[in-house]
């Protein structure tokens, strides 16, 4: 195996098509496409300071390394890459890549990262940046700590456990997502999603979980979250804390100890296939009818 150690290597494509090599304690200060088309690479204590370092690569391991801010768009069209104990500051990392395994990784200010990727494992990963994980598939995340809006928009087949997500518009347009033993905070959670399952979670979301089809909520607390489940279908919701308010769900079952306000506008939804259960009224279908059913949302009276 070829070894490259203790160097500063710059310029355009300086190690193009490098194969079966170890790269240790190397700084890449400038130049694009530093290790493009590489195969079977082991990178340790490497500093990437410029763009497109790992494109079209296969079988790459990165440990104890840094991707600085100008190392943007760093890992595209790359398959079977493992990264451990590494900090990545650059935006637009990971596009159209497969077989990604990250452990003890910190993403700092990494907007638009992990787009259209597949087969992703995230363990003890910190993410700070918007639009993480867009349109990616087959994701398993454990102890993910994410701060950034629009996370996982359009993602499919996702399992998140023991995690903390602070994200507006998280899980929009997703399919087959399961979140367990986690904390979710951010308005408009999971609109237009399908087959979403939330188990043993603490959730805060203004107008969250609207337009969801086949939503399962088990043993969760949904705190300080008004106007939930609007136009939701095939709901199976069982929460262990009180709900602030529910508005215009279409079908399924919602069960909670108490619900502050239930708004059903019969001009917008039918409740024939809806059951709402509370401790004081176990099987009542409609508890409160919208007092102004003809009022259009967003309209304001003239002064």
Do the domain assignments include residue 114? yes
Residue 105 lies in a domain: yes
**Cα 95 from Cα 76, distance rounded (Å):** 5
Please give the biggest Cα pair distance in the chain.
Answer: 79
Q: What is the pLDDT of residue 86?
A: 97
Quick count: other Cβ atoms within 10 Å of Cβ 268? 15
Q: Is residue 13 part of a domain?
A: no
Cβ atoms of residues 224 and 208 within 8 Å: no
What is the per-residue pLDDT for 280?
74
pLDDT of residue 279: 87
d(CA 249, CA 180): 24
Read off the pLDDT of residues 66-90 as tens digits, 9 standing for 90 and up: 999 998 899 999 999 999 999 999 8
Is 90 exceeded by the pLDDT of residue 282? no
pLDDT band at 1 (very low <50, low <70, confident <90, very high): confident
pTM metric for this prediction? 0.91
| Average pLDDT for 125-143 | 98
pLDDT score, position 295: 44
Q: How far apart are CA 164 and CA 248, in angstroms?
A: 29
Q: Is the model's pLDDT at 99 over the cut of 90?
A: yes
Whether the predicted pLDDT of 301 surpasses 50? no
What is d(CA 68, CA 66) in angstroms, rounded to the nearest whole number? 6
What pLDDT is attached to residue 302?
45
The pLDDT of residue 281 = 67
Which residues form the domain of 73?
A: 48-277
Please say if the pLDDT value at position 172 is more than 80: yes
- 294/35: higher pLDDT: 35
pLDDT above 70 (res 252): yes
- Mean pLDDT, residues 241-265: 95
Percent of all residues in the chain with a pLDDT value above 90, rounded to a whole number:
88
The reply to whether 25 falls in a domain is no
- Tell me whether residue 28 is in a domain: no
Q: Under 8 Å CB-to-CB from 190, ≥6 apart: which residues? A: 170, 171, 172, 174, 177, 196, 208, 209, 212, 215
The total of structural domains in the chain comes to 1
Please say if the pLDDT value at position 291 is more than 90.
no
Calculate the CA dihedral of residues 153, 156, 162, 167 and round it to 10 degrees. 10
For the chain, helix, strand, coil in percent to 5 are 0, 50, 50
Domain-embedded: residue 298? no
Say yes or no to pLDDT of 251 above 50. Answer: yes
Residue 110 has a pLDDT of 82
Q: Which two tokens stand for residue 146?
A: 């994410």
Look at residue 58 and tell me if it is in a domain: yes
DSSP designation for 295: P
pLDDT at 38 over 70: yes
pLDDT at 296: 42
Q: Which residues contact 256 (CB under 8 A, 6 or more apart)?
A: 237, 238, 239, 241, 242, 243, 277, 278
142-154 burial, b at 16+ Cβ within 10 Å, e below that, comes to bbbebbbbbbbbb
Q: Across residues 219-225, what is the average pLDDT? A: 97
Mean per-residue pLDDT of the chain: 93
* pLDDT for 300: 39
Confidence of residue 285 (pLDDT cuts 50, 70, 90): very low
């Amino acid at each position: 195996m070829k070894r490259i150690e203790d160097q500063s290597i710059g310029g355009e494509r300086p190690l193009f098509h490098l194969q079966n090599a170890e790269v240790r304690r190397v700084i890449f200060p400038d130049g694009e496409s530093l290790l493009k088309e590489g195969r079977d690479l082991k990178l340790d204590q490497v500093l990437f300071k410029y763009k497109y370092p790992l494109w079209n690569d296969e079988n790459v391991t990165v440990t104890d390394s840094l991707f600085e801010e100008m190392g943007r768009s760093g890992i595209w069209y790359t398959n079977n890459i493992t990264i451990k104990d590494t900090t990545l500051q650059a935006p637009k990392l990971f596009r159209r890549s497969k077989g990604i395994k990250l452990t003890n990784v910190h993403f700092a200010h990494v907007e638009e990262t992990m787009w259209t990727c597949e087969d992703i494992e995230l363990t003890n990963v910190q993410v700070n940046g918007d639009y993480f994980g867009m349109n990616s598939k087959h994701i398993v995340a454990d102890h993910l700590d994410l701060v950034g809006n629009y996370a996982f928009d359009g993602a499919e087949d996702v399992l998140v456990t023991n995690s903390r997500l602070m994200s507006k518009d998280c899980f929009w347009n997703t399919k087959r997502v399961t979140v367990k033993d986690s904390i979710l905070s951010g308005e408009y959670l999971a609109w237009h999603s399908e087959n979403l399952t939330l188990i043993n979670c603490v959730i805060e979301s203004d107008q969250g979980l609207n337009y969801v089809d086949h939503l399962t909520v088990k043993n969760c607390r949904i705190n300080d979250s008004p106007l939930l489940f609007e136009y939701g279908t095939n709901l199976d919701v069982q929460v262990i804390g009180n709900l602030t308010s529910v508005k215009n769900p279409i079908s399924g079952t919602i069960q909670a100890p108490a619900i502050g306000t239930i708004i059903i506008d019969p001009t917008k939804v039918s409740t024939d296939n809806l059951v709402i259960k509370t401790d004081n009224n176990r099987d009542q279908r409609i508890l409160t009818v919208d007092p102004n059913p003809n009022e259009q949302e967003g309209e304001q009276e003239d002064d």
